[in-house]
Amino acid sequence: MFILRWLTAPARWALKVLVLVLTGLLLYYVVTLVQVWLTSRQYDPLSAQAIVVMGAAQYNGVPSSDLRARLDQALILFREGYAHLIVCTGYKEPLDHFTEAESERRYLIGKGVPSVDIWKVGGRDSWTNLALAADRLRPRGDTDVLIVTDPFHEDRSMAIATDVGLTPHPAPTQTSPIRGAAVIPYFLSTAAAVAVGRVVGFQRLHSLGELAVAGRVGR
């Protein structure tokens, strides 16, 4: 307050506006964070036309523990008859021999899922994965999907799925190895992505990410 007395009237007004804007942004972020957390706790699978597994790391065709937890959740849903099609998603890093989607498919087939009941799509990020999945599902009229991913990632995945024309239902894995204090950074970053995506659009956010990647490659 002492500093305010030394500022001109326009400067004081501008500072107050800045404080209000920052407070509003912080409040918006906190509300989004709470929503992301609440969605992470939702698990009430319904009958759907497909189960979409969001990709995660794989190592030479072997799913990471995180990806395996997602796949095991998809297996439960498939075996219990919630849907009869599993859509595996995910791309591969340079020098990898398998995409995440290929690793997922191999794992599911090894667990007894018929290969005809598994589709593969692959993109660099969540938006591309879900957009590609939607491109294959929508022509069949299959828009009701169960989204299987980590709890902290569920809200963002569902928002993107809605954005690309799907009707998503939450079915996060119940056995994610990311838990306890380790999950906090994931919730914080996911909430930030959801908050920005709601304002600028998830497709535009994806495009900005692609531009950033292209910029780094071009250097």
Q: What is the CATH number of the domain that holds 89?
A: 3.40.50.620
Does residue 172 sit within a domain?
yes
Both tokens assigned to 103 = 């690793």
Q: Is residue 22 part of a domain?
A: no
Strand ranges (DSSP E) for the chain? Answer: 50-53, 58-59, 62-63, 86-89, 118-121, 144-148, 167-170
Mean pLDDT of the chain: 90
List the one residue out of 50, 24, 34, 44 whose CA is nearest residue 155.
Answer: 34
Asked whether residue 42 is domain-assigned, the answer is no
Digit-coded pLDDT (tens) for 21-33: 899 999 999 999 9
Do the domain assignments include residue 207? Answer: yes
DSSP tally for the chain: helices H, then strands E: 7, 7
Determine the structural domain holding residue 77 and report its residue range.
Answer: 50-218
The whole-number pLDDT of residue 210 equals 61
Residue 132 in any domain: the answer is yes
pTM: 0.87
Question: Dihedral of the CA atoms 35, 39, 40, 42 (nearest 10)?
Answer: 150
Exposure of 188 in the CB half-sphere (CA atoms within 13 A): 6
For residue 7, is it within any domain?
Answer: no
| Domains identified in the chain, total number | 1
pLDDT in tens, 5-64: 666 777 677 778 888 989 999 999 999 999 999 999 999 899 999 999 999 999 999 999
CB 83 within 8 A of CB 137: no
Count of all residues that appear for the chain in the document: 219
Domain contains 101:
yes
Over the stretch 160-197, which tens digit does the pLDDT of each residue have?
Answer: 999 999 999 999 999 999 999 999 999 999 999 999 99
Q: How buried is residue 3: exposed, middle or buried, by Cβ count under 10 Å (0-12/13-18/19+)? A: exposed
For residue 8, tell me if it sits in a domain: no
**CA distances from residue 212 to 28, 171, 186, 216, 219 in whole angstroms, order as listed:** 25, 31, 21, 6, 11
Query: For the chain, first and last CA: distance in Å?
Result: 47
